Amino acid sequence: MKIWLDGGLQDSESARVSVFDHGLTVGDGIFETVKTVDGRPFALTRHLDRLTRSARGLGLPDPDHDEVRRACAAVLEANPAPLGRLRITYTGGHGPLGSDRGDRGPTLVVALGATNRRPDSTAVITVPWTRNERGALTGLKTTSYAENVVALARARERGASEALFGNTAGQLCEGTGSNVFVVLDGEIHTPPLASGCLAGITRALAIAWTGAEETDLPLDVLERADEVFLTSTLRDVQAVHRVDERELPGAPGPVTAKAMRIFDERSGHDLDP
């Protein structure tokens, strides 16, 4: 596979990043996962804006949007179809072992990953660990994902595909790689950004297209919600048919099914911005 590194295309087998790259040694990096529609990046401007917000939050130099756009186009062009998702990674670059950053500048990698066809509905678990809604990294899409790796492994052990976190205030927050929505009395609600969740791009589109409300929700709303669904770049809108031991028979329910339909209709073509 051809990937983008150090300003040009390289073979993924021989491409090399320093073993002292801060992305590797201390998780000092940010990323974006971008789906492709008709061979083109979907909602790339939104992803680039979030990449810049994440970079600023980490004190990394602003990523060069033109370069990232060129890199995405070059990687899509250089690899044979079927084209999966683009993965943009931007790290603190080669640096000393420790938390101080070096001065050689950031590393930018753009690679392609597979797109897995997701089922219409899935099982989720809740985990006892909390998102910190007031942390230095809250809301940033950093490569420090180990907590998500652990939670997702727990979900897999229990036959689920996602793990949902509450925050330190006991409110519902998000999944390891998705945002969460609940349906109560026919109305759609999702936790506000102040809950500590990532500003998901699919979340923003789902709110705009369904009129979902941003509402503080206690974690136990999952025990009584009529319907639950997830949103993410890799899932689009996906219904939940089990939360922990609670079955939600018939998922996707009517409200989720409508949200899925609206999302499919409006996101089935390149959307940028």
Q: Which is nearer to ligand PLP, 171 or 231 (CB)?
A: 231
Choices 17-25, 88-96, 201-209, 239-247; region in contact with ligand PLP by CB under 6 A: 201-209
Which residue of the chain is nearest ligand PLP when measured via CB? 200
Range 99-128, binding ligand PLP (CB under 6 A):
none
Q: What is the DSSP string of 125-161?
A: EEEEEEE-TTSTTTT--BS--HHHHHHHHHHHHTT-S
Q: What is the DSSP string of 230-262?
A: EEETTTEEEEEEEETTEE-TTSS-HHHHHHHHH
Q: Which residues contact 89 (CB under 8 A, 6 or more apart)?
A: 23, 29, 30, 31, 107, 108, 109, 110, 111, 143
Range 145-174, binding ligand PLP (CB under 6 A):
174
Shortest CB 99 distance to ligand PLP, Å: 23
Give yes or no for residue 91 binding ligand PLP (CB under 6 A). Answer: no
Choices 82-90, 112-120, 176-184, 259-267; region in contact with ligand PLP by CB under 6 A: 176-184
Choices 18-26, 76-84, 100-108, 198-206; region in contact with ligand PLP by CB under 6 A: 198-206
Residues 177, 197: Cα–Cα separation, whole Å: 10
- 154, 162 in Cβ contact below 8 A? no
Give yes or no for residue 200 binding ligand PLP (CB under 6 A). Answer: yes
Residues at the interface with ligand PLP (CB under 6 A):
33, 174, 177-179, 198, 200-203, 231-233
